[in-house]
Amino acid sequence: MNLLDKLKSNLPKVHGILGKDEFFNSAVLIPLVFVDDEYHFLFEKRSANIKQGGEICFPGGRVEKTDKSVVHTALRETFEEIGIEKNKINVIGKLNILFGPRGVLVEPIIAEVKIDNLQELIIDKSEVEKVFLVPLSFFENNEPEHYKIHSTVEHKSYNPSGEEDELILPSNNGNDTYYKSIRDVMVYKTQGEIIWGITARLVYEVIEKLKVV
């Protein structure tokens, strides 16, 4: 076998993501609740004293080594955050993996959640300030607004001795354009709350799937 044949035979048959373990790997549940004769998204508002406090999100979090799958992660986090037992969750499927800013990789799980009202939920107030429902029809009838986020990232490299060293990330003669980025984010405004970023993108993707004939 020559070198190229060997290389070809060792290429992956199912393509994954190079360096996946270097990202913050997470899974979220996109809960759909049927009340008042229509389906609603179930949202959380994060507690003020945690990372990204006050933001609107879906239940979810880091994929732990003990989790059997990303579905297991989403169900575990949902139970921990808002107390919904897995026997009340009917998993429908998955959206494509989403790469978020700051090295976040999100695997979204769509599911029907069988509850009659929000009073059934047991909310972990250390993580979740409140939960609320928004009809899917709101998002079908209202396109997201688009905002531009300007980000500046400070890069520093350290050598094996732990000392700061510009060998890998040189100053580039004062040209810092490499460290700046401008990205488009989707925004929905409803019930006095702002749904934006990753959560808004996931909402948009679900709604787009519903439009396909």
CATH number at residue 109: 3.90.79.10
Domain that holds residue 58: 22-141+191-211
Neighbours of 105 (CB within 10 A): 18
47 is a domain residue: yes
Residue 136 has pLDDT above 60, yes or no: yes
13 is a domain residue: no
9 is a domain residue: no
Name the token pair of 195: 């749904």
154 is a domain residue: no
The whole-number pLDDT of residue 52 equals 78
85 is a domain residue: yes
State pTM to two decimals: 0.87
54 is a domain residue: yes
Least confident piece of the model among 8-17, 104-113, 144-153, 192-201: 144-153
Residue 175 has pLDDT above 70, yes or no: no
In this structure, what is the dihedral angle of CA atoms 84, 56, 196, 99, given to the nearest 10 degrees? -50
Rounded mean pLDDT of 72-94?
96
Residue 91 has pLDDT above 70, yes or no: yes
The total number of structural domains that make up the chain: 1
4 is a domain residue: no
C-alpha–C-alpha distance, residues 182 and 151, integer Å: 6
31-53 pLDDT, tens digit each: 999 999 999 999 999 988 888 77
C-alpha–C-alpha distance, residues 199 and 193, integer Å: 13
Task: Give yes or no for a contact between 54 and 48, defined as CB atoms under 8 angstroms apart.
Answer: yes
102 is a domain residue: yes
